[in-house]
């Protein structure tokens, strides 16, 4: 499990174009940006989907026949460590899910809502995850709009903005201190940048990222 978590963290760092150290340091934010659940949440997601498919299968389905044979008829000799004896078809997460199921939503819609709820959780009042609004997320993947910007340079600038890494190590021309994302508002007068992270305002977002970069590190701008 630990190795799998490490692999997921490395994959997130690669997608976001950041160092593996930084991706580990901001694991929750990385997952929220990419729309990738934690390994634990993903396993529960799979168990919920499996439980739903099992519940909705016809009684003549071979899987249901096998489960009945193992749990009821005692026809099959199966280890107590087997998935069936450990209720793979009705894990605690699925039992909870059934109680909280939202009427009129398909399984896919419900699972997407569950994923977005999971990756949108914040822990502090300054948590950058709070800036990733529903309008910032892709309707199917839940990933942040920054991952769908077609221009490579500005896509990575958008990701760096979200992670407070834009123009990292630079000096703010206004206050002569190390530049952080909040300097755009306080020092450059470029306010509400996170509000532009919507699919409907991508053009305005690109102009804003260009303005921030031009003010701090103009030499980075593509020709």
Render each residue's pLDDT in the chain as its tens digit; 223 residues: 556 556 666 676 667 766 666 666 788 899 999 998 888 898 889 889 889 888 888 988 888 888 888 887 666 677 777 777 778 888 888 888 887 777 778 888 888 999 999 999 999 988 999 999 999 999 999 999 999 999 999 999 999 999 999 998 999 999 999 999 999 999 999 999 999 999 999 999 999 999 999 999 999 999 8
Point out the domain boundary residue: 123, 158, 175: 123
pLDDT at 20: 61
Please spell the DSSP secondary structure of 26-77, one letter per residue.
THHHHHHHHT---HHHHHHHHHHHHHHHHHHS-TT-HHHHHHHHHHTS--S-
Overall domain count for the chain: 2
Question: Which pLDDT belongs to residue 3?
Answer: 60
The answer to whether residue 22 sits within a structural domain is no
Q: Is 149 found in the same domain as 74?
A: no
What are the backbone angles phi and psi of residue 178, rounded to the nearest 5°?
Answer: -55, 135
Residues forming beta bridges with residue 178, ordered by sequence position: 171
Q: Which domain holds residue 73?
A: 35-123
Residues 110, 46 share a domain: yes
Residue 8 within any structural domain of the chain: no
Query: What does the alpha-carbon distance between residue 19 and residue 77 come to, in Å, rounded to a whole number?
Result: 50
Closest by CA position to 172, among listed 215, 207, 206, 214: 215
Q: Which of 123, 157, 172 is the last residue of a domain?
A: 123
70 and 102 housed in the same domain: yes
Say if residue 90 is exposed, middle or buried (CB neighbours under 10 Å; 0-12, 13-18, 19+). middle
Domain assignment present for residue 134? The answer is no
- Residue 83 confidence (pLDDT): 77
Q: Does the residue 182 lie in any domain?
A: yes
Q: Are residues 165 and 212 in the same domain?
A: yes
Quick check: pTM over 0.85?
Answer: no
Distances (CA, A) of 203 to 62, 149, 198, 209: 53, 10, 10, 10
- Predicted local confidence at residue 101, as pLDDT: 75
Q: Is residue 115 part of a domain?
A: yes
Strand partners of residue 137: 144
Are residues 111 and 152 part of one domain?
no
State whether 49 and 95 are in the same domain: yes
Per-residue pLDDT at 209: 98
Report pLDDT for 1: 55
């Amino acid at each position: 499990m630990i190795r799998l978590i490490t692999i997921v963290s490395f994959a997130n760092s690669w997608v976001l174009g950041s160092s593996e150290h930084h991706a580990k340091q901001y694991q929750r934010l990385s997952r929220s940006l990419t729309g990738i659940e934690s390994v634990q949440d993903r396993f529960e997601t799979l168990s919920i989907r499996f439980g739903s498919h099992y519940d909705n299968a016809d009684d003549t389905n071979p899987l249901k026949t096998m489960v009945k044979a193992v749990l009821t008829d005692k026809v099959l000799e199966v280890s107590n460590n087997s998935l069936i004896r450990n209720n793979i078809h009705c894990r605690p997460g699925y039992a909870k899910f059934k109680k909280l199921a939202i009427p009129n939503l398909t399984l896919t819609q419900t699972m997407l809502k569950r994923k977005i709820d999971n990756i949108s959780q914040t822990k502090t009042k300054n948590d950058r995850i709070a800036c990733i609004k529903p309008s910032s997320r892709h309707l199917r993947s839940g990933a942040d709009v920054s991952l769908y910007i077609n221009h490579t340079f500005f896509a990575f600038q958008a990701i760096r903005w979200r992670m407070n890494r834009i123009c990292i190590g630079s000096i703010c021309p206004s206050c002569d201190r190390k530049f952080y994302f909040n300097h755009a508002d306080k020092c450059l007068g470029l306010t509400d940048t996170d509000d532009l992270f919507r699919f409907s305002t991508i053009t305005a977002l690109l102009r804003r990222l260009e303005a921030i970069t031009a003010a701090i590190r103009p030499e980075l701008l593509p020709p």
